[in-house]
Structure 1
Amino acid sequence: MNLEDTTRKVIDSLDIDGLLERFDEPLYLVGGSVRDAILGRLGTDLDFTTPARPEKVKAILEDWAETVWDTGIEFGTVSAAYRGQQIEITTFRADNYDGHSRNPEVAFGDTLEGDLIRRDFRINAMALEMHTREFHDPMGGVTDLFKGVIDTPATPEQSFHDDPLRMLRAARFASQLGFDVAPRVRQAMEEMSAEINRITVERVAMELDKLILGQHPETGIDILVETGLMEHIFPEIPALLMSPDEHAQHKDVYAHSKQVLRQAIDQEEEPDLVLRWAALLHDIGKPDTRDTQDGRVSFHHHEVVGAKLARKRLRKLKYPKSVIEQVGQLVYLHMRFYGFGENQWTDSAVRRYVADAGELLPRLHKLVRADCTTRNKKKAARLARTYDQLLDWIDEIQAKEDLARVRPDLDGNEIMEILDLKPGPDVGRAWSFLKELRLEEGPLDREVAIAKLRHWWETQK
């Protein structure tokens, strides 16, 4: 690759007309923006650094950009929006860390090299001067980039001591880029894994999501498990590395879970965080439910236990309630399909399957298909055929009954009028009875529904 040609093309491709003319000090495209530009994947988030102080940068941007915000100005960063791009310009930094938190004592620097050496990884420590088009790579980031390796500018021990979150970022970049971490970085991660406990769970969750949404999440997951970091942040995942039974009657659950994740990704139209988490976690209930009787291994109700474990861990990581419930429900439902064989579904079972999945039904379809990792081609074909039959059945009933909105044939007001009830728990119980009746028998004529409701109410008395 000709870096001179690459840098020229990068500069020419940037839509920042008028910005350079306003800067009378050097302005460098820096960090991940340079890395992505060399890889041919530069997006619309552009990072720059400059010796100019924040107040001067702010004044320049206010004279040029469409929108400017200075929420990071105390750390030397001023942000702007311009023609669909988000631009961040940060004054050279020379930070000091106290070794207890990841928040540095901010100090502005005077040299580009001093700014680059403080960065997390060498592949993020390259810069491109916009006026002169000079490429700066004092740490050898391009070499690492071509080797596909993630290494730190300083020693990894010092880097991770300053900011333990960088250990997670190493795994995250491995996931996003398909790279591996350097041996010395891996060793430092193993020795310092407990340092991750200095980081807030919100920041941990943010990095985990970026890792899960990467192109190669299995790579990042392996790094976290192998270095011991995952034991501190999501111990249910390394717990999947169960010892095989003496007869090897169950598959490697950890390897299976990663394969299900990959097969779920292969079905995506676009990256789906909920689906990916559900695919990775769908069997986390197996270690707690493993049982051996008569030489056979079973995991009865592992989906129930797994759903509880998934919800509990995601709550500890302070995930949004919607994500917690959606992932938990998918884990809970992923075995429902296997309770029926070919030609063993009923209209009632189909209605309940759709009703329980609700808006998660498209994701559940993908998860169930991804969960088939058998090498037995006949078994795989049989499972696929059975699921195809289920989908046809869902379509057939949906065409007649509007399964997406299954509700009782009588509403609450009608229930109160028919049974001469006042608002209260009895109305809710009657409504639940009619909902179950609707799922079991499908839509009913009004008179039939009223007769069944009255008969049920007499039995309750």
Structure 2
Amino acid sequence: MSEASAPHAADRRELTAAQRNAVAELLRVSPVADELGRRFVRAGHELHLVGGSVRDALLGRLGDDLDFCTDAHPDETLRIIKGWAESIWETGREFGTIGAQRDGLRLEITTFRAESYDQVSRNPVVVYGTSLDEDLKRRDFTINAMAVSLPDHRFTDPHGGLDDLSAKVIRTPSTPGESFGDDPLRMLRAARFAAQLRFAVHPDVHLAMTEMAADLDRITAERIRDEFTKLLCGADPITGLRLLVDTGLADRFLPELTGLKLEIDEHAQHKDVYEHTLTVVENAVSYEEDGCDFILRMAALLHDAGKPATKAVGSDGRVSFHHHEVVGARLTKARMKAMRYPKEVTAKVTALVALHLRFYGYGRGEWTDSAVRRYVADAGDLLPRLHKLTRSDCTTRNRRKAAQLAADYDALEDRIARIAAEEDLARVRPDLDGNAIMELLGVPPGPVVGRAWKHLKEQRLEHGPLDRDAAEAELLRWARAEGLIP
């Protein structure tokens, strides 16, 4: 840590006292932790609030999930909490963890660990430790290697986690190489904490992440996905994303992000797609109304993923990316599938990427009411997100152009609202349902009904609602043209 980034000693002492008092106060008003501590002490064992719980308490954001460590083995822990806990679960028993619930709090109690890794996968070989210091040393970062003993509230910080928390820096208890060699996922966790807490990684940590990025290949796609999702949903995802690209970690599981760094030369200038993308993500975050909208953020991140593959330079030196939304949607679907995202989430993000350019051209006055209906119908329940993504995509520094784009989209939203007031745009469907089609044409359920339904829906999109007589006349006209009726 440089002198410039380190807090003055007096400031550090003052902050330490204030934060220690905050932890003690939080524990004082939360009797569950002290009750549990007394039960372990009476049984001849230690109990410590530890890890993220201590970190979050110091930051004033302790939630309802509390992490503890103890010298008691799982069987002993079960005996101690039986009859006290309202519910108990043993899903983590293989790793020495017993879960319990009491007074609305979820408690995870883990036996001291001194685990080692096989250097091939992330799976640890669990070896129970014998001391708190040994347990804290094996944790990922110093800010997660602090403990508060119960019930006496003694604070333990052997690796300077409190100083690092004050300086907002992410550092490892052991050397970064040793820590990441044991568990490569910790490199991604460093970027995730940087995004969640708005912290900087220590230069030694940054160097190790860069040199050991390829070790991330040892980690399963599901675990990488979960860490990346938390990163993207952090308070400052841009910091985390830059770390992934700068260290080469993104190349291991999300190469499309690094690929946005297209070469820009004096003969074929275009907007910096990488920087533009980060700005779009930042804009999208500003449009959120109630916590992280992962689907919107992921669509913002990948909306231009198809540009590298579609870049072309014309004879006039102008750069184009024709149909990059189509290519981008295909790449997005493949990448999210590889990262094991659920099909429903993948489908929504892919659809937003495919639709994000649809609005451009509206300002030229070419859109009919039919085009507006199709825009709404194609977006479906993604329309609110599409509005936000399209507005986020406007990153031009030309104030006049930015104002015009904003005005055009205001006009489109007003037009959608006007048409919606006249028609049920949220549920665009044919004016005759399947039963009416079968009755009028005298056909059983089957492909003919589906074709007829599709035709009537096209008419509905093109012309708006038809009354019953007009809808029936149109169906009969279509059926005759298809040779289905004389």
TM-score scaled to structure 2, two decimals? 0.92
1:234 to 2:254 alignment: yes
Match in the other structure for 1:8: 24
Q: Matched residue pairs, number?
A: 461
Structure 2: how far apart are the matches of 1:384 and 1:342? 14
Structure 2: how far apart are the matches of 1:346 and 1:9? 64
Structure 1: how far apart are the matches of 2:183 and 2:30? 32
Deviation string 1:32-57 (CA, Å, 9 cap, x unpaired) is: 11111111111111111111221121
Structure 1: how far apart are the matches of 2:155 and 2:368? 67
Q: Which amino acid aligns with 1:193?
A: A
Structure 2: how far apart are the matches of 1:145 and 1:207? 21
Matches within 5 A, 1:40-189: 40-189=60-209
RMSD, aligned CA: 1.4
Structure 2: how far apart are the matches of 1:142 and 1:342? 58
CA shift at 1:424, angstroms?
Answer: 2.6
Structure 1: how far apart are the matches of 2:371 and 2:63? 47
CA shift at 1:180, angstroms?
Answer: 1.5
Match in the other structure for 2:464: 442
Matches within 5 A, 1:412-451: 412-451=434-473
Structure 2: how far apart are the matches of 1:183 and 1:327? 35
Match in the other structure for 2:36: 19
Q: Which amino acid aligns with 2:311?
A: R
Structure 2: how far apart are the matches of 1:245 and 1:399? 50
Deviation string 1:138-185 (CA, Å, 9 cap, x unpaired) is: 011111111211111111111111111111111111110111111111
Deviation string 1:85-111 (CA, Å, 9 cap, x unpaired) is: 211111111112121111111111111
Q: Which amino acid aligns with 2:478?
A: W
Match in the other structure for 1:298: 320
CA shift at 1:421, angstroms?
Answer: 2.9
Deviation string 1:46-99 (CA, Å, 9 cap, x unpaired) is: 111111221121222222121110111121111112222211111111112121
Greater alpha carbon shift after TM alignment, 95-104 vs 338-347: 338-347
Deviation string 1:365-392 (CA, Å, 9 cap, x unpaired) is: 1111111111111111111111111111
Structure 1 vs Structure 2: percent identity of aligned residues?
57
Structure 1: how far apart are the matches of 2:472 and 2:266? 59
Structure 1: how far apart are the matches of 2:287 and 2:91? 39
1:273 to 2:284 alignment: no
Q: Which amino acid aligns with 2:59?
A: L
- Match of 1:88, SS state, is strand
Greater alpha carbon shift after TM alignment, 421-430 vs 193-202: 421-430
Q: Against the structure 1 CA distance between its residues 303 and 364, is the aligned structure 2 distance closer, same or farther, given a 3 Å change threshold?
A: same
- Match of 1:144, SS state, is helix
CA shift at 1:423, angstroms?
Answer: 2.9
Q: Against the structure 1 CA distance between its residues 248 and 141, is the aligned structure 2 distance closer, same or farther, given a 3 Å change threshold?
A: farther
Q: Which amino acid aligns with 1:177?
A: L
- Match of 1:337, SS state, is coil
Match in the other structure for 1:195: 215
Query: Does the 8 Å CA contact 1:409/1:446 hold for their aligned counterparts?
Result: yes
Match in the other structure for 2:478: 456
Query: Does the 8 Å CA contact 1:342/1:386 hold for their aligned counterparts?
Result: no
Match in the other structure for 1:288: 309
Matches within 5 A, 1:254-403: 254-269=274-289, 270-293=291-314, 294-341=316-363, 343-403=365-425
- Match of 1:423, SS state, is coil
Structure 2: how far apart are the matches of 1:61 and 1:373? 56
Structure 2: how far apart are the matches of 1:72 and 1:404? 45
TM-score scaled to structure 1, two decimals? 0.97
Query: Does the 8 Å CA contact 1:58/1:70 hold for their aligned counterparts?
Result: no
CA shift at 1:453, angstroms?
Answer: 2.1
Unmatched 5+ stretches in structure 2: 1-14
Query: Does the 8 Å CA contact 2:305/2:331 hold for their aligned counterparts?
Result: yes
Structure 1: how far apart are the matches of 2:108 and 2:169? 26
Structure 1: how far apart are the matches of 2:304 and 2:52? 35
Query: Does the 8 Å CA contact 2:191/2:243 hold for their aligned counterparts?
Result: yes
- Match of 1:257, SS state, is helix
Structure 2: how far apart are the matches of 1:242 and 1:70? 50
